[in-house]
Structure 1
Amino acid sequence: MTSFSDAALAATARMRALFPPTPLQRNEFLSRRFNADIWLKREDLSPVRSYKIRGAFNAMRKVRADTPDQGQFVCASAGNHAQGVAFACRHFGVRGTIFMPVTTPQQKILKTRTFGGEAITIKLVGDYFDDTLAAAQDYCAGIGGHFLSPFDDDDVIEGQASVAVEILDQLGAAPDVVVLPVGGGGLASGVRMFLAEAAPDVALRLVEPAGGASLTAALAGGGPVTLKKVDNFVDGAAVARIGDRTYAALSDVPLAQVLTAPEDRICATLIEVLNIEGIVLEPAGALAVDALTDLAGEIAGKTVVCVTSGGNFDFERLPEVKERALRFSGVKKYFVLRLPQRPGALREFLSLLGPDDDIARFEYLKKSARNFGSVLIGIETAEAANFTDLFARLDAKGFIYEDITQNQTLSEFLI
């Protein structure tokens, strides 16, 4: 019987007909910051700007080998999996039908259509992914096609393992630590299964978005569970339920080795990587780099590989990402000020601002002829510590205010 590592090696070799290995690049900036030898496995530089092409290609190749007359493939995806399937369909010359939610941004639809060309049909169905998935599976059963899961498929898992094959080959040795993002678990399962056979001394650290920590929930509960609420900001990894097959491969991972990354901190990492390194990552693609902050104490002096899993970033989201990054770093705050309705009150407030404090938002929420009016104020400053001084000056002058920066409910309505 062929071992998993041998199967992954064979799958990787066959991928060379589709694309060359993605780069493994040493990052000097991160290496200096964390006093370690940090390498980035640049899956954001694959033909479809994510690792998803690997699993889609391998699964499609194996299905066609087992069932040569299978010419219909179906998937449900709003992002990277759709693009990987589209690319593979055009490569193999087979028909693909890709179901996407009606709410999918046009940018993603256009990229999927570009990769698939005449080989694919895109169907926009459902406002939510669960509806899209159900429609895709019903359609697939009706036409006798093959449904390609984005992660819960043995052949997909085997294909994703090619990331680890390339890491060992490119580095020329086994790293001390590999840091991986986790969504549905296909990448983490494949890499873990390959390294368990080929380089068992490599330590794995898995990272989930805090608002979609389905693996953490499964490990804590002893099996896959469906999260009641998911924050879709990290859309490439925010999965409500880990796959059954992927959980089976990850069920004995110690819970302490699974990290959760706050969405706002991921935004700060995205901006930093873009500004300093010129690397465009999507939120899920930045998870492994973001986790280095939590791993700083254990990776010093070690060789660490971070898998940057995707770079399909919609730049229309950049203002939101920047806003969340500033708020996370503490240099931008919003508060509601109870401003006295008397001549000179506004001038008095403005005189309390420091030289590095800029007003980014000023809006009367309620103004009347009575004694006070409520004002929404956004302040951006050079250093987070400046707010301590500002609030002290406001307190000394008797101004009444409430910091609502971290109040999610109020922020959604007011900011």
Structure 2
Amino acid sequence: MSDRSTYIANSRSAVASMRELFDETPLQRNDHLSAMYDADVWLKREDLTSVRSYKIRGATNAMRRALERDPVQKMFVCASAGNHAQGVAFACRQLNVRGVIFMPVTTPQQKINKTKIFGGSQIEVVLTGDYFDDTLAAAQSYCIDHKGHFLSPFDDPDVIEGQSTVGIEILDQMGEMPDLIILPVGGGGLSSGVTSVLGTERLLCVEPVGAASLTAALANGAEVTLEKVDNFVDGAAVARMGANTFELLKHLNPDQVRTVQEDRICSTLIEMLNVEGVVLEPAGALAIDVLKDIQDEIKGKTVVCVTSGGNFDFERLPDVKERAQRFLGLKKYFLLRLPQRPGALKDFLSMLGPDDDIARFEYLKKSARNFGTVLIGIETTDALNFDRLIVDLEGAGFKMQDITNDATIAEFVI
């Protein structure tokens, strides 16, 4: 039997076992995206699993395989602050095994509570470490000391096999292979799993610009550790591709891996929430966001986007909206040099258009200066409004410095 045939057979076996614990996720045609891109766009809704992410698949499959090999194995250990923790917790409760889940002490209480709800009395949550590396080290040490089975979030053959079931379900639900399947990439568990059963020919992988570990690995010919990672897309913010996952992904052509900007992902999150009522986490929106870059390539084609997760903390919504507006050019921050004379502020305000709104204003008047500095944030409904405003201000002698995209200044004042 060929490797592909073996992978498919094992994946179908995994699918059958999963049906005893949870239903398949729906494959839904999205009319809004189909009309926007003149294509037949479908969403594989992994955000609608019991734990709102595909991680439930890898966790349950890895536990099942471990118990097949060692029926007396009764304790599983993982380190996670997000979807993997919840998937492991769910699996522990369903399979009636004990789990110890290590989470950083900085983990939001909402995520801790959800993990405890999914696991019930079958799990123990241990909060340790300010940073994930410290949490991971503690979990692995505990696992060795207590002879537990460590569950990797992605770099494990059994986890990869579990994630491969997404591909099997897509194939069965569509009845044929679509023209393109778009997959988000973090550590590579989902993408390598789907690749193992469907091959690479019609796949496109997407990762955030600030955590492009697969792009780096393909360029290097082997896994590399990124020097810096942007953690905004937390479900895909992985500094190093897994060895097992890269073995299955190394045959991808570089043009089959795309990167997308974190701020643009925010605009996609807002769009899907406002237009479709679909709640996605940043990693869950990757496969949809990249459609903006490939719209000419997919016209008239059938495309499946895997929405990998929907565990969005709504406390992040103001930040997501802020980043989306800045990306779309609808919100900007300026340092305004304002003359210290009566009526100067009134003159400035009179130049704002009917759709321009002041979102932030901080002014420090210094008596020994002829000019004061104002930090001002302005929202508008059309990015072109800023072009008009800047021309009018400069014509009136006002000096403005746009600091919206100045990372150094923005980090401290925005």
The structure-2 alpha-carbon separation of the partners of 1:366 and 1:114, relative to structure 1 and needing over 3 Å to count, comes to farther
Moved over 3 A (4+): 365-369
Match of residue 70 from structure 1: 73
> Where does residue 131 of structure 1 map in the other structure?
134
Please give the alpha-carbon distance, in whole angstroms, between the structure 2 residues aligned to 1:231 and 1:368: 42
The code of the aligned residue for 1:315 comes to F
On the 8 A contact 1:341/1:369 being kept in 2, the answer is: no
2:314 corresponding residue in structure 1? 315
- Paired AA for residue 227 in structure 2: K
> Does the residue aligned with 2:236 lie in a helix, a strand or coil?
coil
Q: Residue type matched to 1:135 in 2? A: A
Which residue is equivalent to 2:392? 393
CA contact (8 A) 2:326 2:332 kept: yes
8 A contact 2:39–2:299 mirrored in 1: yes
AA partner of residue 152 (structure 1): D
Counterparts of 1:329-368 in structure 2, within 5 Å, are: 329-365=328-364, 367-368=366-367
Look up the match of 2:115: 112
Q: How far apart are residue 412 of structure 1 and its match?
A: 1.2
Superposed CA offset, 1:238-270 (max 9, x none): 001010100111112111111111010000000
In structure 2, what is the equivalent of residue 25 of structure 1? 28
Identity %, equivalent residues: 68
1:297 partner letter: D
Aligned counterparts of 1:132 and 1:378: Cα–Cα separation in 2: 39
Q: Aligned residue for 1:377? A: 376
Q: How far does residue 368 in structure 1 lie from its aligned partner after superposition?
A: 3.5
Say whether 1:48 aligns with 2:51. Answer: yes
Q: Is the 8 A contact 2:280 2:309 kept in 1?
A: yes
Distance 2:54 2:18 in 1: 12
Contact 2:340 2:365 (8 Å CA) reproduced? no
Task: Specify the alignment match of 2:13 in structure 1.
Answer: 10
User: In 1, distance between residues paired with 2:365 and 2:215?
Assistant: 44
- The Cα offsets for residues 22-52 of structure 1, whole Å up to 9 and x where unpaired, read as 0100000000000000000000000000000
Aligned equivalents of 1:276 and 1:122: distance in 2? 37
Alignment of 1:266-281 (within 5 A): 266-281=265-280
Work out the CA distance in 2 between the residues paired with 1:366 and 1:188.
Answer: 56
Q: Is structure 2 residue 158 aligned with structure 1 residue 155?
A: yes
Which one of the candidate residues 165, 170, 190 is aligned to 2:168? 165
Using the TM superposition, name which of 392-401 and 26-35 deviates more: 392-401
What stretches of structure 1 of length at least 5 have no aligned partner? none
**Do residues 255 (structure 1) and 254 (structure 2) align?**
yes
Unaligned runs of 5+ in 2: none
Distance change >3 Å, CA 160–CA 332, structure 1 → 2: same
CA contact (8 A) 1:284 1:309 kept: yes
Distance of aligned partners of 1:244 and 1:346 in 2 relative to their CA distance in 1, 3 Å threshold: same
The residue aligned with 1:82 is: 85
- Secondary structure of the 2:333 match is strand
Tell me how far 1:100 sits from its aligned partner.
Answer: 0.5
Give per-residue Cα distances to partners, 1:312-355, cap 9 Å, x unaligned.
Answer: 00000000000101111101000000100001110111111111
Q: Please give the alpha-carbon distance, in whole angstroms, between the structure 2 residues aligned to 1:377 and 1:272.
A: 26
Counterpart Cα distance in 2 of 1:49 and 1:409: 36
Whole-Å separation in 1 of the counterparts to 2:86 and 2:279? 18
**1:367·1:374 contact (CA, 8 Å) conserved in 2?**
no
CA distance in 1, matches of 2:141, 2:366: 56
Q: Secondary structure at the match of 2:293?
A: helix
Tell me, what secondary structure is at the counterpart of 1:242? coil
After superposition, the Cα gap between the structure-2 partners of 1:195 and 1:366, relative to the gap in structure 1 and judged at 3 Å, is farther
- C-alpha distance in structure 1 between counterparts of 2:253 and 2:137, whole Å: 33
> Is contact 1:89–1:120 with CA below 8 Å preserved after alignment?
yes
* Alpha-carbon offset, residue 174 of structure 1: 1.0
Question: Superposition RMSD on alpha carbons, in Å?
Answer: 1.0
- DSSP-derived class of the 1:224 partner: coil
Indicate the SS of the match to 1:123.
Answer: strand
| Local SS of the residue matching 2:228 | coil
Instruction: Provide the C-alpha distance between the structure 2 equivalents of 1:333 and 1:305, rounded to a whole number of angstroms.
Output: 35
- Do the aligned partners of 1:51 and 1:310 also contact (CA within 8 Å) in 2? yes
Separation in 1 of the partners of 2:156 and 2:219?
Answer: 23
CA shift at 1:366, angstroms? 5.7
State the distance in 1 between where 2:39 and 2:120 align.
44
Q: CA deviation at 1:172?
A: 1.4
Label 1:365 to 1:174 Cα distance change in 2 as closer, same or farther (>3 A).
farther
In structure 1, the residue corresponding to 2:234 is in which secondary structure?
Answer: coil
